[in-house]
Structures are given as structure tokens and as C-alpha cells.
Amino acid sequence: MNPTDMTAVELVTAYSSGELSPVEATRAVLDAIDARDRDINSFCLVDEERALAQARASEERWATGYSKGLLDGVPISIKDIFLTDGWPTLRGSQAIDESQPWNVDSPVTARLREDGMVFLGKTTTPEIAWKAVTDSALCGITRNPADLSKTAGGSSGGSAAAVAAGLGPCSVGTDGGGSIRIPASFCGTVGFKPTHGRVPLYPASPFGPLAHAGPITRTVEDAALLMDIMSLPDPRDPTSLAPPRATFRGEIGRDVVGLGVAYSPTLGYATVDPEVRAIIDQAVQALDAAGLPVTAADPGFTDPIDAFEVLWSSGAAAMLRSFPDGTRDKVDPGLGKAWERGEKLSAVDYLEARAVAADVGITMGKFHQTHDILLTPTVPIPAFDAGHDVPPGSAFTSWAQWTPFTYPFNLTQQPAMSLPVGKTAAGLPVGLQIIGPRHSDDLVLAVSRYAEHVLG
């Protein structure tokens, strides 16, 4: 099998048996990046020398019968939001000084490095990860491997596009309003946003409790292993949760047949593309027939987009205040508008928006007393033309308006998975969103693994 087609688990199995070495796997992925990424533009930095050095060190460990961690020697890419020792973290912005020292690992990159994974490079993001498509003046447009004329989604679009295109089996992204799940749905990968605090973050995100970090992979099993690595504690995040009592990789095979599952195709307010709706309906019917009894039910909250956009604009303004003088003239025009709005908001506006988020969280808490899991579409539309913040010809004026299923669960801080479940007639992937109560990351992963098995 071509190493670029293998999952992380398959690579580790091949290393263990001696069938394949980390150097061979890394070389194959680097060659694939060189051949394919000029069209996709999923990487903003590739460090072949460092990747091969890490691969050789892993190869030596495997040769002695010793592995450093769960995914020792597995190639991985890192969204250019996470601080990474030895590489600049420019966050898609022309305003950041590349020449400054870069000698700190974020908690995520520290854990991946300690596990022995091979760092391929950094993946593209819109400026400060502010929107749900991936383009920037610094890096250009990231395109969808399923159709290069379409967007990969965002803001973790580089990570999802890389995994979908076979440019490494896994990546890590951030999600403040859908930024892992949206590109996972558009590109046809697995994308998991865990409970807020489950994966430690440093520096603290100005987007506060909206901000999450999680894996983007080809399989749920790979996502579970990455969660076991990424969720290890780090003292630099005072809001992080205690380590889970059980491993995620050990929980994904648990019996979920008979759980109470709710399906809300619109959340009570969203408009869904008919083709997307038909694909999601078919997937839900298959899960119901396979032993996950599904009930049609809306959670009962109204669209919280106004509160979300207050929190989002406030976070953008807070971050950009720390940038050098003259930044306003360099940033993405849409980000500039969000910055201006955020500067006009008051502390009272912020706290009122947080109160809305709390109310939605309370509603969902009550909902999950009856329903273990909630299913929705991940995004109500397939990927649209690249280079646009909103679908061309639509009436939308902001990115959040076309992704009504994702940001509510950043407000509530719940775990949510996007699982690929089909393609449109044009070959564009469609994702099913699987949502659980706060702190039920293991349950969401287990239901997702079962759905992956049922749906194929």
C-alpha cells in the first residue's frame, strides 16, 4: 500500500512489523506534497530537513523495539496558529514579524513532539483564523482537493485539505465557530472539536471560551489516538480540564446500540440545501436501522448568531490591538470590519452575549437529559467557489450566516464531530455533525466510530 493512503494506525502497525519505516513514509508524503500542493496550497511551510531528521530518529527507535509514543514516526501537519519551536507562527498575517525568536511549543505541539510524531510543516489559515474559508494576502487561496475551483472551508482549511489530499494522515486545527468541522465537511475528512478545555491552549485565545483545538484525520480511530496525546495536561492553560480517566482509544469500541439519538435537520431555523439534506437524511435512516433509534427533535433555542458575532468581533479586536502600528492597513478587509465593530462594543455587550451563550448551554443540558446524542448536518451547503467569504450570489454578508450548525456548539462548549457521509452529484463531500453533552468526548467518538462502521 502507498504510505500516503495509509491511516496513522496503519502506519504504526507497519512500523511495528518492519514492513515500512518512518523514513519511507515521510519521504512518500513529502514527495506527495511536492507534487500536489502547488495546486491545493494547503501548506505555508514545509521543512523537509526537520521532518526527515525526526523520521530517522523514530526509525532508530522502532529498530530497537522501542516506540516513544502512540504515534511515533507518523507524519503530521500543524495549523499555523499553534506556536512551534523552530518555525515562525505567522497566523496568515503580513503584520507579524517573521524574524523574531520562535522557540516555544504550544501545548499541542509539545505533546505531539513528545510522542515522537514527524512534523511536516505548517498549514494555511486565514488571517488570525478569523473566518470559515482559507485565504489570506500572505498565503493566497487554499483549494478543495475534491474540486480545485471550490473552497476548502476554514479556518483550518489547510489542515483538512492536506489530509483529504493524502499529504499526511493527520493534522491539528482550531475551532472557534466551526473551524475544524466546516473544512472537514467540505473536504471529506473527520474533524473533531472536543469539549472546551479538553485540549490545553497557550497562549490563551482572545476568543476565550469559543476557542477549541482538535484533530483532523481520515478515521475516527486516528482522531481518538490524537486526542489521547493532545489532551495531556499543560500548566500554561489554567482553564484546561483534568486528564480523562479512560483513554479515548479504549472507549471508541464501546457499545452504543440503543442510545437515544435526536435528529434536527434545521435546528429549528436553518435553511439546508436539498441535496445536502437528502444525503444527511439517508445517513440518519441508516443509523436508525443499525440500532441507534433516532427521534426527530429540535433543541429549542433560537439562532444565537448575534451573540456569537459580538463575542467573535470582541476577540478579533482584542487580538489585533496587540499587533504593530499600521496593522489596520494590512489586514483582510472583512477582518478589518470585524475589528472596527469589536472596538465599538462595550463590556456590557460582551457580558450580555455571554449570557445568551449560557442560556443556549442550559437548553442543551436539558435536551441531553432526554437525548444522548444530537445529529445535524455539519454545514447546510456543499463547498462553494474559492476566493469568496460567502457563497457568490447569496444574500449572506458574513461567514457565520452560512454555517448555522457549528457556532452554537462553540457557545455551549460541547464536543462535536464532523463525519463524512456522502457526496453530492458534483462529487463534493457532505458531513454529518454528531454532538454530545459537555465532557462526553468519549461518547461522541464512540458514536462516530459506530456511524463510520455503519455508513462505510
Catalytic center residues: 79, 155, 179
HSE (CB half, 13 Å, CA atoms) of 63? 9
Cβ–Cβ < 8 Å for 416, 434: yes
- Strand 75-79: give its sheet, edge to edge: 43-46, 118-123, 75-79, 170-175, 212-217, 190-193, 416-423, 429-435, 373-377, 261-263, 294-296
Rg (CA), the chain: 20
- As a whole number of angstroms, the distance between CA 307 and CA 298 comes to 20
The phi and psi torsions of 50 (rounded to 5 degrees) equal -65, -45
How many residues are present in the chain?
456
Instruction: Write a three-state SS string for 308-333.
Output: HHHHHHHHHHHHHHCCCCCHHHCCCH
DSSP H or E segment with residue 171: strand 170-175
* Residue 312 CA from chain centroid, whole number: 17
Cβ–Cβ < 8 Å for 158, 134: yes
Distances, alpha carbon 299 to alpha carbons 92, 251, 266, 365, in Å:
36, 27, 10, 10
DSSP H or E segment with residue 140: strand 140-141
Neighbours of 267 (CB within 10 A): 20
- As a whole number of angstroms, the distance between CA 118 and CA 103 comes to 18
For the chain, the helix, strand and coil percentages under 3-state DSSP, each to the nearest 5? 40, 15, 45
* Residue 151 CA from chain centroid, whole number: 15
